[in-house]
Amino acid sequence: MDIRSSLKDSIAKSLSGLGIVVEPDKVPLEHPAELRNGDYSSGVALQYAKQAGTAPRALAEKIVAAFGSPEGVSKVEVAGAGFINFYLTPGALAEAVETARKEDMWGSGTFNAGKKIMVEYTDPNPFKEFHIGHLMSNAIGESIARLMQFSGADVKRANYQGDVGPHVAKAIWGLQKFGLNVGDKKVWPLGRAYSQGATAYESDEAAKEQIDKINTQVYDRSDPVINNIYDQGREASLAHFESIYKILGTKFDFYFFESETAARGVELVKKHPEVFEESDGAIVYKGEKDGLHTRVFITSKGLPTYETKELGLAELKAEKCTVDVSITVTAHEQSDYFKVVLAAMRKVMPDIAAKIEHVSHGMMRFAEGKMSSRTGNVITGESLLADLTEAAKERAAESRADDKDALAQQVAVAAIKYQILRQASGKDIIFDRERALSLEGDSGPYLQYAYARTNAIIEKAKEQNIAAKTDLNATTGELPRFLHRFPEIVEYATSLHEPHLLTSYLLEVAARFNSWYAQEQILDGTAGAAHKVALVDAVRRTLKNGLWILGIPAPERM
RNA sequence: GCCCUCGUAGCAUAAUGGAUAGUGCAGGACUCUUCUAAGGUCUUGAUGUAGGUUCGAUUCCUACCGAGGGCACCA
């Protein structure tokens, strides 16, 4: 039994001796924010003081008296209003340091052991820009996928892309109209074509008719000219996205397209007239019966909407891959939409619907207002990455990295991903160019730099033939106590789908390490150096695994 | 109008109902003849308003104010 469970157990037993029955699982036990308050702390006495008819501190004293000194704990004290604080023994902390050094999978757990989980994220649309909103979805989705993986799940990454629908018709119209359908397809300005088509659709009746016609032709593939533009544009777009995924470090197992979910969805809707009804020529689901709102599934022109395709997608996913949980990561703007689709799905395919979880995150916004690819008011993912890479080049040139261009790009990816993953995912990010370009302080490169430093020390220790050795009696500093928390932080972040909890933790590990590094010579020629090297090694593995979970590259040298 | 998020220093943010509300940027003062200064040390400064629940509320509940999103043929 691990220390956490055994402490909870002891407290529960003590309580029952005092006539208070609490399940061990329900015993509060946390890492106090301040290390001076111990390695574990319980506020159980404050919670049950009233029931026991005793003052909190007195109850805490009684609880402590009843269980004596647990294994791995050097000191138990009653503090503050009645907290019970536990301090781990140097031996217990040394064990954490040793595990961190020796286990590749340090920090991993069994929270999702044996489960198969599909995570869908990024979801850009061919014929449109890959903008910074997709970067946000990718960073959060990838990190959630890795948290699941690290907690023992078999994870399948999925990407769902809208390769049919009005946006495609608008882009094709733009390409035709402006004569951009010839030449090198790699430089097709698809984003601009879409924006021109979208504008014309709203202001020009004739254009609207043409675009609606193209939309139908894309579905039924009846026009060879349209087919040709469509096929080339789709291919160019997908190849372009793939180059971005490579930089970001995402490898998808499944690609789903709206062109393959549309027909399926229509079939599902038609098969369930008891669920969907006709209204003004369209087929809708009346969400009001679930406390939601009505949404159109098939338009009066007979075309499937996104809602219908989502049903088809769920069925297709289930057919391709049997999973225990299917997570879809999207921006918050789709939350209400998703609730309605799920309500309908529960009636059409209850078994599949039961496994689906929607994880929503905030939106990437501009100070001036909403980002919109319809008006061309977007920052593309590749332009941001390119700017960041450029900003990182100056310092990278002075670095010890073998491939300085590669380092600049890794730093760029770290900077953008960190900015996204540092805050609770429910909040919007107001995109600030200057902030995004900053490579100092509370940032991705800060973590990378600390990691590179640990590598440099370990390398140097090897040159000096200093073998790392954890001293069982010297693990009293703050760093080992802090490192000990890593696996529990990972588990907590996993259970809440909140990568930012890990981000803040890693920042603190790096900060404590940097501070220690500044005031302590590690390779100091004394016998104590062996222990300090071991500690550096443990920090190194913690940062490495932590960065991996965040999907942030960890260059060996900087 | 209804529904969903979010309101913490000048700005951006953290906090599992708990202990002195943690951090970065910006501002001010220091710090490279010592293992990487993308670093370190010191310093000013914050919980939208009004109630409620609780031994204890940034956290939970109610109302209000403010920002963003959604609400029928877009995705």
For A305-327, the pLDDT digits (tens) are 999 999 999 999 999 999 999 99
Predicted pLDDT at A222: 92
Q: A402 CA to B35 C1', in Å? A: 20
Cβ neighbours for A319, distance < 8 A, ≥ 6 positions apart: none
Predicted pLDDT at A70: 83
DSSP string, A340-405: HHHHHHHHH-HHHHTTEEEEEE--EEBTTB--BTTTTB--BHHHHHHHHHHHHHHHHHTSS-SSHH
Predicted pLDDT at A525: 87
List pLDDT tens digits, range A102-117: 999 999 999 999 999 9
A400 beta carbon to strand B: under 7 Å: yes
Strand A295-298, strand A282-285: pairing:
antiparallel
Predicted pLDDT at A544: 98
Encoding tokens for residue A374?
């319809």
Share of chain A above pLDDT 70, in %: 96
Positions 99-118 in A, CB within 7 angstroms of strand B = none
Predicted pLDDT at A180: 59
Which of the nucleotides lies closest to A557 (Cα–C1')? B36
Give the count of beta carbons closer than 10 Å to the beta carbon of residue A523.
Answer: 15
Give the count of beta carbons closer than 10 Å to the beta carbon of residue A19.
Answer: 9
A54 beta carbon to strand B: under 7 Å: no
Q: Round to whole Å and give the CA distance between A531 and A470.
A: 5
List pLDDT tens digits, range A436-467: 888 888 999 999 999 999 999 999 999 999 99
Q: Which residue minimizes Cα–C1' distance to B15?
A: A33
Q: Closest by alpha carbon to A93, among A491, A507, A477?
A: A477
Segment among A62-66, A364-368, A482-486 with least mean pLDDT: A364-368
For residue A238, name the pLDDT band (cuts at 50, 70, 90).
Answer: very high
Q: Which residue minimizes Cα–C1' distance to B40?
A: A518
CB A40 within 8 A of CB A11: no
Predicted pLDDT at A137: 95
Cβ neighbours for A16, distance < 8 A, ≥ 6 positions apart: A22
For residue A2, name the pLDDT band (cuts at 50, 70, 90).
Answer: confident
A140 beta carbon to strand B: under 7 Å: no
Q: Closest by alpha carbon to A181, among A126, A228, A128?
A: A228
Alpha helices in A180-334 (DSSP H): 190-203, 205-220, 224-248, 258-271, 306-320
CB A549 within 8 A of CB A414: no
List pLDDT tens digits, range A11-41: 999 998 888 888 888 899 999 988 989 999 9
Predicted pLDDT at A536: 96
Predicted pLDDT at A204: 87
Q: Does residue A179 have a pLDDT over 70?
A: no
Q: Does residue A178 have a pLDDT over 80?
A: no
Q: Which long-range contacts (CB under 8 A, 24 or more apart) does A219-228 make?
A: A219/A164, A219/A262, A219/A303, A226/A172
CB A362 within 8 A of CB A332: yes
Predicted pLDDT at A371: 64
A490 beta carbon to strand B: under 7 Å: no
List pLDDT tens digits, range A491-515: 999 999 999 999 999 999 999 999 9
Tokens 């139908």 map to which residue? A216
Average pLDDT of chain A?
91
Bridge partners (DSSP) listed for residue A157: A119
A216 beta carbon to strand B: under 7 Å: no
Where in A60-216 does DSSP place strands (E)? 73-79, 83-88, 116-120, 154-161
How far from A21 is each of A49, A60, A62, A78, A297, CA to CA, in Å? 13, 15, 15, 21, 53
Give the count of beta carbons closer than 10 Å to the beta carbon of residue A204.
Answer: 12
Predicted pLDDT at A183: 54
The residue ranking higher by pLDDT, A435 or A184, is A435
Q: Does residue A168 have a pLDDT over 70?
A: yes
Predicted pLDDT at A375: 67
Instruction: Report the SS3 class of residue A38.
Output: coil
For residue A366, name the pLDDT band (cuts at 50, 70, 90).
Answer: confident
Predicted pLDDT at A274: 95
Predicted pLDDT at A298: 96
Stated pTM of the model: 0.95
The residue ranking higher by pLDDT, A379 or A401, is A401
Q: A501 CA to B14 C1', in Å? A: 9
Q: Round to whole Å and give the CA distance between A517 and A528.
A: 15
Within chain A, what is the greatest distance between any pair of CA atoms? Answer: 85
List pLDDT tens digits, range A70-104: 889 999 999 988 999 999 999 899 999 999 999 99
Q: Does residue A378 have a pLDDT over 70?
A: yes
List pLDDT tens digits, range A119-133: 999 999 999 989 999
How far from A371 is each of A131, A133, A286, A334, CA to CA, in Å? 9, 9, 30, 15
Q: A516 CA to B51 C1', in Å? A: 48
Q: What is the mean pLDDT of residues A357-374?
A: 79
Cβ neighbours for A234, distance < 8 A, ≥ 6 positions apart: A126, A127, A163
Q: Which nucleotides of B are covered by protein (CB under 7 A)?
A: 3-7, 12-20, 22-26, 34-36, 38-41, 54-56, 68-75
Q: Closest by alpha carbon to A325, among A134, A147, A552, A499?
A: A147
Q: Round to whole Å and give the CA distance between A463 and A455.
A: 12
Predicted pLDDT at A53: 85
According to the per-residue pLDDT averaged within each range, which of A27-31, A480-484, A542-546 is highest? A542-546
Segment among A125-134, A177-186, A369-378 with least mean pLDDT: A177-186
Share of chain A above pLDDT 90, in %: 73
Predicted pLDDT at A365: 82
Predicted pLDDT at A186: 57
Q: Round to whole Å and give the CA distance between A40 and A488.
A: 12
For residue A370, name the pLDDT band (cuts at 50, 70, 90).
Answer: low
Q: Does residue A43 have a pLDDT over 60?
A: yes
A302 beta carbon to strand B: under 7 Å: no
A30 beta carbon to strand B: under 7 Å: yes
Which of the nucleotides lies closest to A500 (Cα–C1')? B14
Q: What is the mean pLDDT of residues A292-301?
A: 94
A503 beta carbon to strand B: under 7 Å: no
